[in-house]
Amino acid sequence: MVTRLCVLWTIFVVASLLIQTTLAHMALLYPMPRGGIRDKKQYNGKVHAFIGFDKKRTLPCNGYDRSGPITQLRAGQIIDVRFWGPALQEKFYDNLPPRPSNKRGKQINQARHGGGFCQFSLTYDGGKTFHLIGEYTESCPDFYYAWKVKIPDNVPSCNETGKCFFIWSWTAVNVPQFYMNCVDVKIQGKVGGKLPSKGIQIVNAPGYQKGVTAKGDGAGDMTGDGPNPDEVRANVKGTWS
């Protein structure tokens, strides 16, 4: 009996590790998305799964259909976007973890898989259309850094629950996987304002081009070089406004 219990426990542990490994990728930490680690009503450990991982992981909000925590934003605001992964300790949720002085030294395994292509957008219609407001190439995501994104100066207000989202999307490196997180927001904008006209890249999802990967930074699951200074300037300037 004891032997059988030991075998069953071993199977359970191995299966749990396999599930965590399969799901181990990245998600938004701030602003807090639906199903994020601080969304106490919906967090189920799958916010960092890619679109299509299972039947529930669908666009635009990765299967989280109920409203999450509301983040208040305003036109012209610059946000320090941060990322989360299962290995990030809670003590670093409010402050960036210290970056290792030597990239080969001890650090947190992020499961960022060498970075990729991150885009940030707004949607005012529940995810039917997306309006690009920022992007980073190669080294994004990485939870050792904050990634600056500007809410354009001239966007209109948006206050309708379930319609107004700040969106992070990620095209991965090496494997054709696409990720998307939705942040429920209320935006204090400008009267007569206008949303940016450029859309975002959506790939590797039902109805979209398949087999697409992005260029990475070659750092694997370790920390990369962080935000490209030219891209930071472009995002803060509001290039896509």
For 29-71, how does the pLDDT look when each residue is reduced to its tens digit (9 = 90+)?
999 999 999 999 999 999 999 999 999 999 999 999 999 999 9
Sheet containing 27-30, strands listed edge to edge, beginning at the edge strand earlier in sequence? 27-30, 78-84, 147-150
Judge whether residue 20 has pLDDT over 50. no
pLDDT at res. 24: 53
Quickly state the pLDDT bin for 238 (edges 50, 70, 90): confident
The mean per-residue pLDDT over the stretch 154-169 comes to: 98
Query: For the whole model, what pTM was predicted?
Result: 0.89
The mean per-residue pLDDT over the stretch 13-17 comes to: 32
In the chain the domains, ranked by start, together with CATH numbers, are 2-98+107-237 (2.70.50.70)
Judge whether residue 15 has pLDDT over 80. no
pLDDT at res. 111: 86
Judge whether residue 14 has pLDDT over 80. no
pLDDT at res. 12: 31
Helix (H) or strand (E) holding 12: helix 2-23
At position 80, the amino acid (one-letter code) is D
The mean per-residue pLDDT over the stretch 155-166 comes to: 98
Task: Tell me the torsion sign for CA atoms 37, 39, 41, 44.
Answer: negative
| Rounded Cα gap, residues 143 and 158, in angstroms | 29
Give the pLDDT confidence of 93-152 residue by residue, as tens digits: 999 999 887 766 678 888 898 999 999 999 999 999 999 999 999 999 999 999 999 999
User: By the 8 A CB rule, do 99 and 223 touch?
Assistant: yes
User: By the 8 A CB rule, do 111 and 26 touch?
Assistant: yes
Quickly state the pLDDT bin for 7 (edges 50, 70, 90): very low
| Rounded Cα gap, residues 1 and 68, in angstroms | 46
pLDDT at res. 25: 85
Token code pair at residue 236? 């803060």
pLDDT at res. 241: 76
Per cent of the chain over pLDDT 70 is: 88
User: By the 8 A CB rule, do 73 and 124 touch?
Assistant: no
pLDDT at res. 17: 31
Other residues' Cβ atoms within 10 Å of the Cβ of residue 138:
20
